[in-house]
Chain A
């Protein structure tokens, strides 16, 4: 079997087993509600970090606006689910499925539209522009108001719409005051979406399109020289990454009682980026493990020692810097190679001794 396929099966199988085990424990009533809530949030962050890994690890471009796409997914899905449930009387499962899909679709559309100018840039410029777009998207939802009444939907920008029939009034999006979507996200939904997203990411990366993205990352001039349309594949990966982030945002929105647009800020993007980098660029398994470890450990430690929890961000920052230095600084690269060579020599010596003995 191909190495990539084997790797993917291990990652996917591991995640599946973890989901099933946790699900059984949950059904058996062995988990308290706090742990269950934690699991839902971790699952959502895993979806977000694996999708960001597509942009950062596979495409090799730093996106600092990932939370912005989650923001679109969150608020557009909340609009759909509330309208479907309250105004159209749709059953919850149908409304939620459509809402998640709509959230992903809206994020994909925005990802594509934003990608057109952004993907012409590279490196630092691209990073800062994605940051800018993330902030713009956040301010956009800080200013959008949607209210429904018996006369239909009313939209407002920067101010709530006026002349609403108060008896049938229902506020769907309330600008900076946030949105209260129905509480529909549970463990099973998150697990299902997570597994589907993993499959999509894995099959995309292990196909000619994924290879094209990696080729562009490694050397875009050479990629062009073998006929790869650089912009097309960059745009494709960026859009896919945005769509999955949108799904994560939709799940997040429906897991909280009230969600403020300002929650999806730069700091959230950076937090997701930290999971991706510490898990290993390009490694979906790494992103999953890093998200679980970095998100769950502080939660579990909280019971033992509050002090440690306060220091967690500081520790992440230090690990982040040290990891980058360790992996990329010539000093450390040489050091690593020397250590490797030493081990190899020892192994060879041992092998020589045994083979020498056999010959004799």
Chain B
């Protein structure tokens, strides 16, 4: 196991240990990581998402697809607490997280990236990742101001962990650059690195391949698989790029007009005549 994992375990303490135990006991079993029951949200007269059910197993790579305006990002926003669902319930690893704030939801183990990249633009690449480790760091503000030993110890640990993460995404060479100055593809990767820095159980990726050329997409697919295996991560992603979806997703849910159109194994779903009609029209 890499140094990264070791450090993670040290910093993360109980949460990480508990997670490992859970993984260990159910070793890639059929345990559910995320369960969504009858999730709906209403904006004025519009029912943007209507009665969505989802069940994502641990260690799974799950895809959420659908035409533009189908309500995919709205689902993400409900899962991460940005929007409060009108009805329905969300369970993460058996815990009900419905209606919690984005901060609480991140603490309970969901991290995400954004469709329109949201980095901390005026901060360095390294600091972007370190911000993600905020909650796994124990030193207090006073300890930081007085520069007590714990500050130095934990800052050093954070930097090491952040560098390890950056190495995974081949961003270590630019760690001192301003994140706004990174090329587009690397900004997307940095967002994933920042999300992983929060030690999530479930990673949500909102159109990770948007704006990438075929080579970059290919590379991204490898990275996503690598992340899943290396961090034992469960990943839910929204994507329009069918090559990526069919290449890495094990199961899919197709949304159309806020409702589930099809659900199941990737190849079966993609050959479903209903899905083809929704995408291509009659």
Contacts and interface: CB of A to CB of B under 8 A. Distances in A.
Contacts of A219: 118-121
B40 interface: no
B120 A208 contact: no
A146 interface: no
Contact of A208 (B102, B114, B144, B197): B144
B248 interface: no
Interface string B114-132: 1000111111000100111
Nearest to B80: A225
B137 A221 contact: no
A204 B111 contact: no
A229 B81 CA distance: 13
B141 A204 contact: yes
A349 B176 CA distance: 26
Interface centre among A207, A210, A221, A222 (most CB of B within 10 A): A222
B145 A224 contact: no
Contact of B141 (A3, A209, A227): A209
Contacts of A257: none
A236 B145 CA distance: 13
A184 interface: no
B112, B134, B194, most chain A CB atoms within 10 A? B134
Interface in B83-105: 101-103
A200 interface: yes
A227 B120 contact: no
B106 interface: yes
A97 interface: no
A59 interface: no
B106 A225 contact: yes
Interface in A200-238: 200, 203-204, 207-212, 214-215, 217-219, 221-230, 236
A225 B102 contact: yes
A51 B127 CA distance: 23
B198 interface: yes
Nearest to B104: A227
Nearest to B133: A208
